[in-house]
Structure 1
Amino acid sequence: MRGRNRRVLSLSFIMVALVAAVSIYGTRLMFHTAMEEEGVRLQDVVRSQVALAVEMCRMPHAGGDSGGSGVTREAILDRLAHAQRRLGMESRSGEFAVARLDGGKVRYLLVNGRGVSEFTSGAGFSPEALGVEPMMLALSGKSGTLVGPDRQGSDVLSAYAPLPLGGERFGLVAQIDLDEIRAPFIRANLNVFFVGVGLTVLGVFLFFKVSEPFIRDIEVSEESYRDLVEGANNLILRINEEGEITFANSFARGFLVGKDGELLGRKLMPFFMVEAAGERLEAVVELIGGEGRQNEIPVRMADGRDGYVAWTVKLVMDQGRPAELLCIGNDATRIHKANKAQRESEERFRGLAKASPVAIIITDIAGNLLYANEKMHEMTRATEVQLAGQGWLNSVHREDRKLVWKHWLERVGPATDKVELRLMSGNGEFVWALWQVVEMGNLRGEPSGNIHTFTDITEIKETQMAMSRLTAAIDQAAEMIVMTDLDGITTYVNPAFEEVSGYSRGEAVGRTSGLFQGGERNGNVSSGTWETITGGKVWKGRIVNRRKNGERYTLESSVGPIRNHAGELIGFVGVGRDITEQMAVESQLRQSQKLESIGELAAGIAHEINTPTQYVTSNLQFLSDAFKTYAGTIERCRELAHMVSAHPDLFPDEAYRKRAESALDEEEMEYLAEDVPNALEESSAGLKRIAEIVRSIRQLAHPGELTKSFHDLNEIVRNTITVSTNEWKYVAGMKFVPDESLAPVFCLKGEVAQVVLNLIVNAAHAIEAKIAGADRQGTISIRTFAEGESAVLEIRDTGTGMSAEVAAKAFDPFFTTKEVGKGTGQGLAIARSVVVGMHGGSIEIDTAEGEGATFTVRLPFEEPPAG
């Protein structure tokens, strides 16, 4: 009640003050209006006086000293005095004066219609009471109104104007005291004020009497509002233009600073755990958001924990500028954390679904698509629009859609059954997928949809098909294929093994494989093979084994490691090809090649044999003739000797003795004694040459050996040079530089000789093609030397050489640059096969077109270790 009375008194005081202010303002406004009207009235009076004087001056008169033709000055002043007295009687507050300028001083002539002399008697008015400034302005020829103090300090309103009387300067001034004008307005203002106060008090009394029920309702509403605001579980704040909190409910205080804390006057922005450009109202609005929006902001709570508040704001504008902000914040910490956990869960699901190698789709109970992960789009190459609804079914191969309807919609079989089907991936291509459906339920346990997973098994299917093809290929392969464990125990053999070896699969599996210990291999080679394959490398070579019936056979084999997906060695696989017949054919081929080469050399060999035969024949003829001469000489000597000895008495004559002396020709005897031995020596040499050629041909033409042994490489080269002489001696000179200290080479002698022969013949043909009938010869240089563990044979010629393209194909079978019928293209191919394949050596070619060629053959002194 006391509060109510206080409000009534306050309201009454305010209303009285308003009435007083209104009355004072109204009185002042009317006073100024009256002042303006009074100024106009005085100005009109002054002007009328001036007009009267002017008219009187224009009136004719009989004489005077005015110097003019009008009424005299005294008459005019008298007339003005009469008029001023009448005005003074009508308005006692009015004061009129007429003066002139006399010697620079103002001399008053009339004051309120009386002469100045009348004031000397002390009639209670002095001309000095009039202000000098208005009169001076009038005497200066100006007219107008002026408010200011007179000589006694009273505020007066003056109207002034010049008064033309003859040729002199006169001035007319009319003034009125402002207090005369102000007094009635003050009285009216007091009347209005007291009447207004009475009416105000009466109005307040009546207002409270009439509005008391409404006030009571407002108070109840205010109390309810206060209870609502204070009891609300929301932060309710009012923020002023500076960003300061001007109101905060108890929940806001407890949430932000605790129940004992104070929020009023504090800035709101520091409570937000975000960066902002300022703390004023504009920054708060920019951060929280505009009106009608909700924005969740992290807030530092009173207990130091991080909280989240969802704000709703109402912006109050003042003249187009934000003046106040009403903020209602909802504590969204739990909801935020729950939403965050949900989002994290969804993100984890999406991350798992995105990273999943399995295609995943979610459908409703009718099969309409709700979600498809990236893998599904990748496998089907379909967009979301194409998969929408039941469009995903179009990605299933047309022939497999029946499986979908059967196992899913018709529920044939358990829901966990996995079905293999094909998903179309565009352009008629498809991928194999393992499809499975899992039913989803809602919170009531009712079915609400399905989760479909498609696992890409294309590689598995292709692997299975490849394995099937591989198995079929292995089973049908002509090569023996054997698989073993790490101990060399056989775990698998293919049908070719059974066919070649004669052992059945049952007899071979579980036994040590013959790939690692051939019947013809020594222990060192076997251990080298084992070391190679256990070291993870591939061993290649030939193995001689025995069939079940005891026959020997040769395998061209390769044995390699088998590793699991982790790269660990888990076994070995060997592939062997029965080359027994091939070796025989190759041997025949090489023999044919030798015979071909020998056939090419046949004419030369015949010539070589014919030449020594000719001079042996000539020498033998010579020896025959010589023997005849010897026989005749001996015979004559015998006759002479007989005659001399038989008849000494018959030849006492000296002539007989001379005849006996000339029976033997000493010169002839000397010639025969010198040339007969030479002829015999040449004949012997020729016969030896024939024997050597025949022996070399026999060695070269001899069938190749099946086993290697140690041979002198220099001897092989010499024999080959001898046999091939007719091929090179007409086109090139031969230069052989052997290394006499060269150790024997473990080789097949006939095969190596074939290689040397092919290289010499090729060199001779290249030189012949280059000189092309010119009268000059090329050179074939051959040398042998040791290099590390190998014997090196180098054959260099000055022939045509080869281009890089030809050199790259030089060792290819059947490749030749010779004319048709002059080469089979097998010479260098066989040479490489012999050197590399049979002896583990190497053969290289260094050539340039037009600059000859150098072939370098390296043969190991001893058979290299396996691998």
Structure 2
Amino acid sequence: MELTSETCTLVFDALEQTHDTIFITDADGKIVYANRAFEDLTGFTRAESIGRNANILKSGEHTKDFYDKMWNTIRSGQAWSGRFINKRKDGTRYMEKVRISPLKNAKGKITHYISVRHDVTHELALENQLVQSQKMEALGLLAGQMAHDFNNMLTIIIGSMELVKEDLKEGTIGMKLTDDILKTSKDSANLIKQLLVFARRQDDEKAPPAADLNAAIKDSQTLARLLGPKIRMEYRLAPDLHRAKIAPEQLTQVLMNLALNAKDAMGGSGTITIATENFRGDPDGDRGLPAGDYAAVSVSDTGPGMPADIMEHVFEPFFTTKPKGKGTGLGLSIVYGIIKRLGGTILVASEPGRGAAFTIYLPKA
């Protein structure tokens, strides 16, 4: 059946106006047609992409075996469906659901392939946030119950050892052992306190007043001295930053933990940047924040960055990539607990070789 010019125009308009990316390649993979959505998603204009191989979108995230299986499927005349992590012209990555179908001529020979793609980057980010939130909530409940039970036991141990100490003489072995037990018990109690921060079980804590975050950050600039001379600190503070409900000492604790984490990631030398900005939340945006105004504080470093499988676990209590005995793995979970308790959100962005950035979003007071 031959199509009328009117029908051809209708089909072309549909291809151009759909929000899904559609492009056609020849049998060797060279692009011969790309719709408007292709330009919007990839950043490549049609003039730049037509005549070039579709591998201009390759991100390096997939193996040769992955592509071989795809090609074997479509060259056999079958359609292939799956997911790609591809790369835009500017180097940023995105995830898309893909269906590639072979196009045959009247003799049944495959001459072209049509690829229909749907960007699912935002959907997956929201799914991951939900899964992460549920996992952290479960860990928080477990950590809170364990911390509560251990705290009760440590209270008994510390109280008992204080009574024993009253009957001992200074300089004796018994006094030394008692002091060692008390010190270890109090150190353990401090770890329990940090776990309680993560678990958000300090219900008697009053909501802090609205704070000037820029002023609090300036007051905490002494942390540069604590980080050592090999760490360079940079500050990019936005004027007229929204006020947010966080106690200055809480913000200092958050910044200290993030800065120490960045220092360790950089191997003790590099640049840490603390920046602030006003941010408008959009549930449909790439950060998935509820609608509203936020004060954002970011701590970024020039370290080696981290892969996705590490980022998935960074806020979990006791998770650490440091050698045994070099860290408790509680620093970032404490930050997470503080920010969540204040109704905020903390997100991490990183890629191997590009450093890491932790950004806190606190609702405008």
Settle same-fold status: TM greater than 0.5: no
Compare the two structures and name the one with the higher helix fraction. 1
Higher alpha-carbon Rg: 1
Q: TM-score, normalised by structure 2?
A: 0.44
